[in-house]
Amino acid sequence: MGEIAVVNPATQETIGHVARASRGDLEDAVAAAKLGFSAWREVSTFDRCLILREAAKRLRADAEATAELMSLEQGKPVTQAKGEVLAGADIIDWFAEEGRRTYGQVVPSRHPSVTQIVVKEPVGIVAAFTPWNFPVNQAVRMAQATTVLAAQKFRNAGQICVAPTRFLVHEDIFDAFTDSFVEKARSLKVGPGNDPSSQLGPLANERRLTAMQTLVDDAVGKGARRLTGGKRLGNRGYFFEATVLADVPLTAVAMNEEPFGPIALINRFSDPEDAIEEANRLPFGLAAYAYTRSRETIRKISGAIEAGMLSINHHGLGLPELPFGGIKDSGYGTEGGSAALDAYLNAKLITQA
């Protein structure tokens, strides 16, 4: 078994090592999981709930220390890291209780002497891959929109799967919106994640720096206007400026792939139908956001936008009790809400005469 160096992205210093699993390690893990599952499946849902609630309690108790470690390892500001830890505890609490409500079903029979029931049983061993960024759009209502969207765009240096990237703004307010958004981007305090005052931390690794510069250079080279940012900050640490590009051509790579970094792309529209068409153009459909005062626009986009999640006039995603997932090439299934357990359960029909 080898090791992988853990590098602090703010200083580029090695702060530790983690084990690099081999194929044999994975096979051992599966064997251990099979052994554990044979015992765990006999534990009542009530007792499982108690165990999970205790886990959430311990996670909250260690929130400060865990957040510090996450900030050093991954780079996000420590306040954001702590929020993530506490959100993780909330998720554990939610599913601790939701698991107790894994109800079956009685299906009315066609014959009085036949009983038909459906019970839910665990699928068994599941391989879970933890993303490194979280280990544990159109805008029309401007004042609120720029504040919320800028905060969400540059949170964790833009390394969030639901971070807004393509901003579609009506031409009547385009200049005012971009001016406000740029001002907020420039006001962000850049610094190491473990500095409580930092608002924009480093990218996770050097590869992300190269990726960001490539995307910016490509977009500008194809005609986009660089309103702010667009380059690395300093020569130590993986810091990249909060970047805003406007009038970005659809041929730019960033308009077709997820930048996964602190790059905001702002384009204008005049006809709402064109905005909807652009929003749905890509084969991805995780999250979308809209700000508008028009009830008719809300009604239209609610049905027309192709995304697993649509948040209108606020940022309301990522709560344990709500579905969290995408459509099209953004995957299937959900991580939250009452339906999240379905993927881990088999429905067994028992029919008896």
Average pLDDT over the chain reads 92
- Domain locations in the chain as residue ranges: 2-109, 138-317
User: What's the predicted TM-score (pTM) here?
Assistant: 0.84
Tell me the C-alpha distance between 66 and 63, whole Å: 5
Q: Which residues of the chain have pLDDT under 50?
A: 137-141
Question: Are the CB atoms for 254 and 299 separated by under 8 Å?
Answer: no
The whole-number pLDDT of residue 1 equals 62
Question: Are the CB atoms for 84 and 134 separated by under 8 Å?
Answer: yes
- Of the candidates 131, 84, 109, the residue with the CA atom closest to the CA atom of residue 260: 131
The whole-number pLDDT of residue 140 equals 41
The whole-number pLDDT of residue 138 equals 41
The beta strands (E) that lie in 171-256 are given as: 225-228, 243-246
Does the domain at 2-109 match CATH 3.50.50.60? Answer given as no
The whole-number pLDDT of residue 121 equals 87
The whole-number pLDDT of residue 142 equals 58
Tell me the C-alpha distance between 283 and 347, whole Å: 31
37-49 confidence digits (pLDDT tens): 989 988 999 999 9
Tell me the C-alpha distance between 148 and 31, whole Å: 47
Tell me the C-alpha distance between 208 and 205, whole Å: 6
119-172 confidence digits (pLDDT tens): 988 888 888 888 878 776 444 445 767 888 999 999 999 999 999 999 999 999
Report the CATH fold assignment for 138-317: Aldehyde Dehydrogenase; Chain A, domain 2 (3.40.309)
The whole-number pLDDT of residue 136 equals 61
The whole-number pLDDT of residue 127 equals 85
Tell me the C-alpha distance between 217 and 327, whole Å: 30
